[in-house]
Structure 1
Amino acid sequence: MARRTLIVIGLVLATVAGLGLAWETRRVLVSVVVAAFFAVALNPLVDRVQRQFVRRRAAATLVVFVASFVALAALGVLIVVPLVDELARFANRAPDLLREAQAGRGPVGELLERFHLRRYAEAHADQLRHYGGELGRSTIGLVRGTVQGVAGALTVVVLAYLMIVQGPRITAGTLALAGGDRAERLRRVGRESARTITGYLSGNLLISLICGLATFVVLALTGVPFAAVIALLVAIADLIPLVGATLGAVVAGGAGFLHSPTAGVVVLVFFVVYQQMENHLLQPVVMSRAVHLNPLTVLVSVLLAAEVGGLLGALLAIPLAGIVQILLREFLYANRRAGALPAAAGPTDRAPGGRPDQPPSSLPSDGGTTGGGHLGRRQAE
């Protein structure tokens, strides 16, 4: 009894120590998880390059990473150049917008007058200047956060590179230790998990691209200024499952109403229609082909992961739920099926001929050890 108590206490202490260690190293663990997702997503492309072009895995991985960075840089140029132009236009128009707002004219001034915000700003001018000073003093914190973000991104890239290069060796060693049917099951789990992660990431990026392009077209047609910047923000927000398009609609709708009430109504109608199309057409297609999760499981997973891990948790919730589903199907359900199988046929289940698959009409006639031999001896007696 005392030994069992000590074992239980030891297990509890080990669990608490493990959770405390995970909490203290949560930033490193988050970087490892994000790098693992990117490594799994890029691994099929690396395998293809290694088979067809470059034999060394390290060189093939480097080629894929360089090509990915070039593609991202080209996309960044396509986005940043219009963004810089829009920001320059905004900087040139900022003094006129400010004078119009102070005089109660223009779209911004009319909005301030409609919601009585200009009177509030005039009555609390000292507090607003104080908040502006506090915002200016927080520049150091912003710079520090930017540096940490860049360092974290570089860490993720290096980890993903090493995971792809060393992945086959680690996988082969793990499967060799498992051996037999267990190795085959682990190989199947890894293959299905990789397919789930790759499908989710590529599908989510595709949906965000569609949302951003459609938003840019609508904003450009309605004449809303800074359409490229707003469409980029909407595309980034749409990466968040289920609620991303709604968050983007708030930004785009606000910009539309600042331009004109007609443009605001058109933008809101577009997002209502697009949200229905994304939830009932695009997202179900992606989820059914990638993670095979029903909508309720998707929603609960996103809400729980967002509560625990914030934005990163919401982004990783659906593939993690798909991996959990794969593990349950491979281990829990497989064990249940194995336990439900009938036992092997015993002596009482054998056919009269001495073998389970031997029909009675094929009884041996040599009077040997079969049931027919015993019957012949009884009749002779």
Structure 2
Amino acid sequence: LDPFVDWLQKRKIPRGLGIVIIYILLFAFVSLAVILIIPPISKEVTQISENFPLYYEKIVNGFNAFKSNLESPENTEQVQQGLNSLGENLSATVSNVAGAIFSIFGGLFSVLLVLVLTFYFTINEEATRGFIYTFAPSNIHPYINSLHTRIQKKLGSWLRGQLILSLVIFALTFIGLTILGVPYALVLAFIAGILEIIPTIGPLIAAIPAAFFAFLQSPVMGVSVIILYIIIQELENHLIVPKIMSKSVGLNPLIVIISVLIGAKIGGVFGALFAVPVVTAISVFLRDIIEKKVEAETKLVQ
């Protein structure tokens, strides 16, 4: 929030009022998004659940057609058992969609708590620094101030970049799936946008349900969807990410995944939300230590 708050402060708007304005705008944007997106997504999820027996029937019919071309009864029995197991697992998964959605929204309390803490630390930035200064010698106060500023910039640029990247992938996926005539395009695009925050494996996971529903329509549509996701992934890697994240210092994707998993294991949703900020602070601090060590060794050699 700091860059926006500082921008408002330069225009004679008090820091506290600036934060309130930003929160109001953020709340308005989120509310508008919820009003426009959540109802159609909920409708599509309901349709998926209601139409699942039809999809299962299509799978069984396709298997029966394939079975007629098989010569080995043993292979047929094994495939049938595998298909029945798949059907049971998919049915159980679909029946738990509502439960999964409620679990996700159960994390809203943690998100709200993060917003409250962010508001407090932002409006009382100087007081927070003063509190930290009381535990540190005066000779390192300038370094603490510099460290705090660099952590804020790095984390802020990373978060903004990830948000914009998710929105772009959501839009591209929705447009592509709509053009191809894939059912449930909004839900599938929403999944792609959300999973974009998971580096590397997120887009791959998002492509699975899209390909599944596309192949149920026709093999041509299924192949087209796979090609679409490959094209989007290539655009992301070679054009979108360099463009959007050019001002971001960036964090190693593997470190992000591991930190979020550890944070979620320790503190649930709250831990996952704070994992990246903590790792960001540690990475900046360790980089300073390494740079000072290299600088000292260089001077010693000279």
Q: TM-score range by the shorter chain?
A: 0.7 to 0.9
Q: Aligned equivalents of 1:244 and 1:225: distance in 2?
A: 21
In the other structure, the counterpart of 1:46 is 5
1:213 aligns with 171
Equivalent residue, structure 1, for 2:255: 301
Measured at CA, do residues 276 and 322 of structure 1 come closer, stay the same or move farther in structure 2, by a change above 3 Å?
farther
Shift of 1:270: 1.6
Q: Does the Cα contact within 8 Å between 2:170 and 2:190 map onto a contact in 1?
A: yes
For the pair shown, the structure with the greater C-alpha radius of gyration is 1
- Mean Cα displacement is larger for which, 315-324 or 74-83? 315-324
Structure 1 residues 280, 322: CA separation in 2 closer, same or farther (over 3 Å shift)?
farther
Name the CA shift for 1:254/1:321 in 2 (closer, same or farther; >3 Å). same
Shift of 1:74: 1.0
Q: Deviations over 1:26-76 (max 9, x none)?
A: xxxxxxxxxxxxxxxx22222323442532x33322221121111111122
Q: Distance in 1 between matches of 2:239 and 2:276?
A: 17
1:210-359 matches, cutoff 5 A? 210-285=168-243, 289-291=247-249, 298-302=252-256, 304-305=258-259, 308-309=262-263, 322-338=280-296, 340-341=298-299
- Report sequence identity in percent: 23
Q: TM-score, normalization: structure 2? A: 0.74
Out of 20, 24, 34, which is 1:62 matched to? 20
Aligned to 1:52, what secondary structure does the other structure show? coil
Deviation at 1:114, TM superposition (A): 6.2
Structure 2: 5+ residue stretches without partners: 68-77
2:118: which partner in 1?
A: 160
User: Do 1:216 and 1:228's aligned partners in 2 also have CA atoms closer than 8 Å?
Assistant: yes
The amino acid that maps onto 2:13 is V
Alignment deviations for residues 110-133 of structure 1 (CA, whole Å, 9 cap, x no partner): 456468899659978xx969x96x
In structure 2, the CA distance between the partners of 1:181 and 1:82, relative to structure 1 (3 Å rule), is same
Provide the rounded CA distance (Å) in 1 between the counterparts of 2:79 and 2:247. Answer: 52
Amino acid at match of 1:76: V
Preserved contact between residue 55 and residue 216 of structure 2 (Cα < 8 Å):
no
- Contact conserved, 2:188 with 2:209, CA < 8 A, in 1? yes
SS in structure 1 of the partner of residue 182 of structure 2: coil
Structure 1 gaps, min length 5: 1-41, 343-381
Higher relative contact order (CA 8 A, sep 6+): 2
The alignment covers a number of residue pairs equal to 283
Residues 46 and 252 of structure 1, relative CA distance in 2, 3 Å threshold: same
Output the CA distance in 1 between the equivalents of 2:6 and 2:134. 21
Counterpart residue number, 2:75: none
Question: Aligned partners of 2:256 and 2:65: how far apart in 1?
Answer: 38
TM-aligned CA deviation for residue 266 of structure 1: 0.9
For residues 181 and 163 of structure 1, the distance between their equivalents in structure 2, rounded to whole angstroms, comes to 24
Asked if the contact 1:291/1:319 (under 8 Å) is kept, the reply is: no
Q: Are the aligned partners of 1:61 and 1:161 in contact in 2 as well (CA < 8 Å)?
A: yes
Residue 200 (structure 1) shift: 0.7
Counterparts of 1:317 and 1:143, CA distance in 2: 23
| 1:186 CA displacement | 1.7
Asked if structure 1 preserves the Cα contact closer than 8 Å seen for 2:259 and 2:276, the reply is no
TM score, norm. by length of structure 1: 0.61
For residues 249 and 80 of structure 1, do their structure 2 counterparts lie closer, same or farther at Cα, with a shift above 3 Å needed? same
